[in-house]
Amino acid sequence: MYRYSQFDRAFVRSRAAQFRAQVARRLDGSLTEDEFKPLRLMNGLYLQLHAYMLRVAIPYGTLSADQMRQLAMIAERWDKGYGHFTTRQNIQFNWPKLADVPDILDALADVEMHAIQTSGNTIRNVTADPFAGAAADEVADPRPVAELIRQWSTDHPEFQFLPRKFKLAVTGSPEDRAVTAAHDIGLRLVQQGGDLGARVLVGGGLGRTPMIGKVLRDFVPLADLLPYLEAIVAIYNLLGRRDNKYKARIKITVHEHGLEEIRDLVEAEFPARKALFNGIDQQMLAAITAQFAPPAFDPEAEGNFRAWYHADPAFRAFVDTNTAPHRAPGYTILTVSLKAPGETPGDATADQMRVLADLAERYGHGELRISHEQNVILPHVPRRHLRAIHAALSDAGLASANVGLVSDIIACPGMDYCSLATARSIPVAQQIATRFEELKLEHDIGPLKIKISGCINACGHHHVGHIGILGLDRAGVENYQITLGGDGGPDAVIGERAGPGFAYDEIVDAVERLVHAYLAHRDGPSEAFLDTYRRLGAAPFKAALHPEDKGRANAA
């Protein structure tokens, strides 16, 4: 893992001290809320429906055990005993008192964390594949590149007032578990002629105008990557619209100017940017990469795993559902679901965070990851420890064997917390998960990604859900639109709207009808929901959603 340099520590401490003084001036009335707002947003502090909300960055989703324990302490001392892991690999505390926030920032600095640039029109927390450095299918570990971008973009003097927020994601796997095509810039590490570089996508994003990113350049050598990124952001900073925030994202800039014009402008800007770097970025990347050396893997990692796997059906189901292949023999990648049916997706209590930290320290080389799907990952687990981990997770209420299944739902905070939301999303997710828990169909259904957003801003990524649900306000009444066939993988696609929406008390039944339609039409249990949708199209699913339309058609 990357460890802060002396400069990093001094920078984060100074920012925390600055904010302490700003909070003091706000509390004694020297600053109005309007004057205070840009200052708090620079430090990740929002004012939500009921209270302030502090968003803390978890760069590329990587945490140490000590950092997780510190988040638990913060949740317990200054919040309501839990934290909420988000779809951008951050953690949010939803109930801090303003007077306590400077102390929270100091506590974060103690473990090399901060909340800088988790809001505002800047380059936000850089996200990455949560299996990075562990996945068997990986071309290269994307975290050194992500850390280099984090250092370059933090407090970058040219990019502190962009037309709009700017999001980057990096993956080193062809499976693209970082959803790079839905970001302002998506980087996919690839090999070309023996050299490592990146395929650069630009102009992706969800929200009210969802778009899939387009390939700006098929291969940029690592030696050119940072100046190339700087050229892209500089062109966006110049051309991006500032007259209308709904048209200010780079996806609109690319759409209005065309990919070819943007490419020509970036290529023209690149040489001057490249000259300014003078090779210092490559020296930094080499030093960063050294800090991401893999742990010393245990050659006896397998142990008695096979015997336990065959003897215990519950343990076998947990392993089959929640683990993924690791690069090292005898190891596995374990995803711990934060989606127990009926619970809030992405929430973890302070006690659960401590359990996860202890397990990572005892069995997993001290490292944890947060996924954009709001789960926690132990990336390096010797399989001989899986049974003990499963037992500990069961005691903590964290052993749900549902990763990638119907109850592993992404949901934004919705109207439970968010001041922008127009509908509830958490209760909808809870009810869907509970419904399918009662039906005992989850494992029969197989892989299915349901994603729920409580407003058009799409923080729940509903556009790329196999089943996407968008909650809106229709004349004071919550209404839920369904999209079908979306996907955030390497061939990302935006889902198609499936007709009129549903009321709050109708949406769970509608989802159940969709799933039963899939079970009725699939070509055997091995055909997943998305594959059935792609084979048959939307018609049978729309018919299941709106049986009254079929009746009217027959009557006509």
pLDDT 10s digits, 364-405: 999 999 999 999 999 999 999 999 999 999 999 999 999 999
Q: What is the pLDDT of residue 550?
A: 58
Q: Does domain 304-396 have CATH number 3.90.480.20?
A: yes
Pick out the chain residues at pLDDT < 70.
Answer: 550-556
DSSP summary character for residue 300: T
Rounded distance, CA 540 to CA 266, Å?
Answer: 45
Look at strands 91-93 and 367-370 and give their pairing. unpaired
Q: Any alpha helices (H) in 51-123, and if so which ranges?
A: 65-78, 101-110
Question: What local confidence, expressed as pLDDT, does residue 351 receive?
Answer: 98
Nearest alpha-carbon partner for 86 in 324, 335, 344, 343: 344
Burial of 555 (0-12, 13-18, 19+ CB in 10 A): exposed
Question: Using CA atoms, how far apart are residues 237 and 243, in angstroms rounded to an integer?
Answer: 13
* C-alpha to C-alpha distance for 179 and 492, rounded to whole angstroms: 8
| Calpha distance 340→68 (Å, rounded) | 20
The total of other beta-carbon atoms located within 10 Å of residue 24's CB is 13
Return d(Cα 523, Cα 520) in angstroms, integer. Answer: 9
pLDDT at 276: 93
Strand segments (E) across 80-156: 82-85, 91-93, 127-128
User: Out of 3.40.50.261, 3.90.480.20, 2.40.37.10, 1.10.240.10, which CATH number does the structure's domain 6-110 have?
Assistant: 3.90.480.20
Domains 134-291 and 410-554 share a fold: yes
Strands 168-171 and 127-128: parallel
Q: Is the pTM of this model over 0.85?
A: yes
> Under a CB-based contact definition with an 8 Å cutoff, are residues 410 and 84 in contact?
no
Domain range 134-291, its CATH number among 3.30.413.10, 3.40.50.1700, 2.40.50.140, 3.20.20.10: 3.30.413.10
* pLDDT at 377 (0 to 100): 98
Give the per-residue pLDDT at 556: 45
For the chain, the structural domain boundaries read: 6-110, 134-291, 304-396, 410-554
* CB neighbours of residue 93 within 10 Å: 26
Identify the CATH number of the domain defined by range 410-554: 3.30.413.10
Is there a contact between 400 and 337 (Cβ–Cβ < 8 Å)? yes
For position 419, what pLDDT does the model report? 85
Conformational region of residue 132, where left means phi above 0, alpha means psi within -120 to 50, and beta covers everything else: beta
